[in-house]
Chains A and B, each alone.
Chain A
Amino acid sequence: DAGVIQSPRHEVTEMGQEVTLRCKPISGHNSLFWYRQTMMRGLELLIYFNNNVPIDDSGMPEDRFSAKMPNASFSTLKIQPSEPRDSAVYFCASSPDSSGQETQYFGPGTRLLVL
């Protein structure tokens, strides 16, 4: 299995632009997570999906952030409009388990820089 796939790996954009991050979870996994990692705040859970349904989006910082999972093999995290403070590494992770007892498998991350 190729593991969790994220694209793009790096993104540089200007303030005010729309940014879309993409994730393909491991086939057969029914839980998907979006995280953000910064030096100041560490790793934070933004949102998680179970069977393509958003279960908890309380970690989404503002209305500028939105996430979708139209099917079991694809998810997007969108920031519109982007701001310099959104600069971070964004990770997608998936898990085969819906009970919360299994580990999460992380993608390589998307490094976002908003100028």
Chain B
Amino acid sequence: KQEVTQIPAALSVPEGENLVLNCSFTDSAIYNLQWFRQDPGKGLTSLLLIQSSQREQTSGRLNASLDKSSGRSTLYIAASQPGDSATYLCAVRPGGFKTIFGAGTRLFVKA
């Protein structure tokens, strides 16, 4: 059974700091991995989608990597800003349409 774990559960950093969020999954047989952002009281917004054949994806200040063999992914946020404060969820698609979500990392960037 696929399980997704995110560490840390919460993180507080000063503005401008570079940071890394971690995601691990138990079964390396995945179609893709996604990082989502969730703001309080809102739905999820997809940030980056990495297909199983890819190693990383970049969008602006965000970079996500995928190492299937070790069951790990990282989300790197450069030069963090207060507007980056949100919960970040990692999700893997083991096959078909099912998506398994991690519990999320709650990020707070202090001005």
Name A residues whose Cβ lies closer than 8 Å to a Cβ of B.
4, 31, 33, 42-45, 48, 50, 55-56, 91, 93, 100-109, 111
Bound-complex Cα distance A48 to B35 (A): 20
Query: What number of A-B contacts does a CB cutoff of 8 Å give?
Result: 54
State which size class the interface on B falls in.
20 to 34
Instruction: Flag whether B99 is at the interface (Cβ < 8 A).
Output: yes
Query: Can you give 6 A-B contacts (C-beta < 8 A)?
Result: A42-B101, A44-B101, A48-B97, A48-B98, A56-B96, A91-B43
Name B residues whose Cβ lies closer than 8 Å to a Cβ of A.
31-32, 34, 36, 41-46, 49, 51, 89, 93, 95-99, 101-104
Write out the residue numbers on chain B whose beta carbons fall within 8 Å of the beta carbon of A104: 46, 99
Write out the residue numbers on chain B whose beta carbons fall within 8 Å of the beta carbon of A44: 101
Write out the residue numbers on chain A whose beta carbons fall within 8 Å of the beta carbon of B98: 45, 48, 56
Q: In the complex, which of the residues B31, B36, B43, B104 contacts A4, with contact meaning CB atoms closer than 8 Å? A: B43
Do residues B43 and A109 form an inter-chain contact, with CB atoms below 8 A?
yes
Q: In the complex, which of the residues A31, A105, A106 contacts B97, with contact meaning CB atoms closer than 8 Å? A: A31
Name the residue on A nearest B96 (C-beta): A100
Q: In the complex, which of the residues B31, B34, B89, B97 contacts A55, with contact meaning CB atoms closer than 8 Å? A: B97
